[in-house]
Amino acid sequence: MKKVLLLLLAASVVAGCKKTSDNAQSTSTPTAHSLEKQSPKVKLRHNGQVIQVSTNALNAHLAHGDQIVVQSGDMAQNINDVTADPTKWFFYNDETDAIDNSLGSFVSGPGTAPYGSGSAQISVSGTQRRNLATYQFSGLPLADITVLAFSTYNPSAGNGGAANRSGYLNFNVDFDGSDTWQKRLVFTPPSGAIAQNTWQEWDCIDGGNAVWRYSGGNFPGASVSSMTWSTLLTTYPGIRIRVTDSWLGIRVGAPYANGYTENIDGFKLNTRTYDFDN
Ligand SMILES: [Ca+2]
């Protein structure tokens, strides 16, 4: 059932993409008014200020270092919102495979956030598995990813237990181009490097040396359950983020036990940096 749901969700996302594209191609000669309506805005942090620019101007702004701002009102509320705009983010419950924005919040700080004045926050207990997630990187070959990073803050207040838990990155992977469900690739910050009450940025490539784990145990055709980024690229030349179920998320929760709170900011993939903010 879980796989069917995921596939249905993914199919609707893809169908939505195609529909949007077809509509754009069939549009007759646009008037100034229709052009304005067709030009969606994206929210950026530009020289410290939040501005709204046309998506047509996005790449130019990203090239000079602006970040894309995501606040609570920008989140997809359901899969229809994702279909309408696949670049949306949302909180996602990995126990029920559902978008649920009650699972997280946007808060001030803590401390000096990497971007803007705040961050996304997720608190879990027991074996809960919650994510800050998106479907927007559909089919992206890992070989085309040159920047992949995110920042976390693990507050000691209320966390108790072990101090070496962190949010971690995971996404649906396609090793062989078949676009079937092949579980997830997982990057977990090295436990010995995790510190509490401070922001830390995790480089998920690290010059090819970042260590990734496979959620299915040993990697397909291999006898190891972890590989460096560079070994992944040489072992599976076509490896990519899955196309039809392109889920990618920063997870807080199991297999770390006992629950904890994590703050997330500054997700980076190539030219895009996301500023999750209050
Ligand atoms: Ca922020």
Residue pLDDT, tens place only, 85-134: 999 999 999 999 999 999 999 999 999 999 999 999 999 998 899 999 99
- Structure confidence at residue 38 (pLDDT): 56
Residue 268's identity, in one-letter code, is: K
Distance 108 CA to ligand 1 centre (A): 8
Query: Is the Cβ–Cβ distance between 53 and 69 less than 8 Å?
Result: no
Phi, psi dihedrals of residue 37, rounded to the nearest 5°: -70, -30
Mean pLDDT of 180-198: 95
Does 65 fall in a domain? no
Residue pLDDT, tens place only, 239-276: 999 999 999 999 999 888 788 999 999 999 999 999 99
Distance 183 CA to ligand 1 centre (A): 30
Distance 116 CA to ligand 1 centre (A): 4
User: Nearest Cα to 137, choosing from 171, 110, 104?
Assistant: 171
Does 132 fall in a domain? yes
- Structure confidence at residue 163 (pLDDT): 81
Tally of structural domains, the chain: 1
Residue pLDDT, tens place only, 143-183: 999 999 999 999 988 676 678 889 999 999 999 999 999 99
CA distance 68 to 62: 8
Q: Is the pLDDT of residue 232 over 50?
A: yes
Does 61 fall in a domain? no
CA distance 190 to 198: 15
Does 64 fall in a domain? no
Report the percent of the chain where pLDDT is more than 70. Answer: 85
Does 136 fall in a domain? yes
Distance 117 CA to ligand 1 centre (A): 6
Does 57 fall in a domain? no
Distance 208 CA to ligand 1 centre (A): 27
Does 58 fall in a domain? no
Q: Which domain holds residue 176?
A: 2-36+72-276
